[in-house]
Structure 1
Amino acid sequence: MNQTFKIKGMTCEHCASAVRKAVLKTDNTAQIQIDLATGLTSINSSQPRATLIAAIEEEGYTVTSP
């Protein structure tokens, strides 16, 4: 299922990498596209939205609806 998130605090490639790693820990087959300019992240994953949000927020970022 493809889901879109707005992630606050993600400003560089290191941040994007941290988000990717967090998502891949919950679903190692997830497909992730990150646009640093807008903060929008598209994740194609079988995991529930709440699980993905929890993993991202555990890294110190804030997730809101796009």
Structure 2
Amino acid sequence: MLQFQVQGMSCGHCVKAVTQAVQSAYPQARVEVDLGAGKVRVDQAGDAARIAQLIAEAGYTVSGSETVG
């Protein structure tokens, strides 16, 4: 699972926008957004740089990523 530190998310619309951005390239990805912690977890064997780019293109700042779990 990949985890990203994302800035600028604050509401349900943000959750939907980030989820749709990731799933546009990885339709089967399970995306979990923790607004309070500013974290996005993606259960997908994908390219972390590509997923970060998708989130950034949706209008959010990705400040870091890591593999977890």
Q: TM-score, normalised by structure 2?
A: 0.88
Alpha-carbon distance in 1 for matches of 2:46, 2:25? 7
- Structure 2, unaligned stretches of length 5 or more? none
1:41-56 equivalences under 5 Å are: 41-56=40-55
Q: CA deviation at 1:46?
A: 2.1
Contact 1:22–1:59 (8 Å) recurs in 2 = yes
| Superposed structure 1 runs of 4+ greater than 6 Å apart | none
Q: Which consecutive unaligned segments of at least 5 residues does structure 1 have?
A: none
* Count of residues in Structure 1 that have an aligned counterpart in Structure 2: 65
Shift of 1:45: 1.1
Indicate the residue corresponding to 2:13 in structure 1: 14
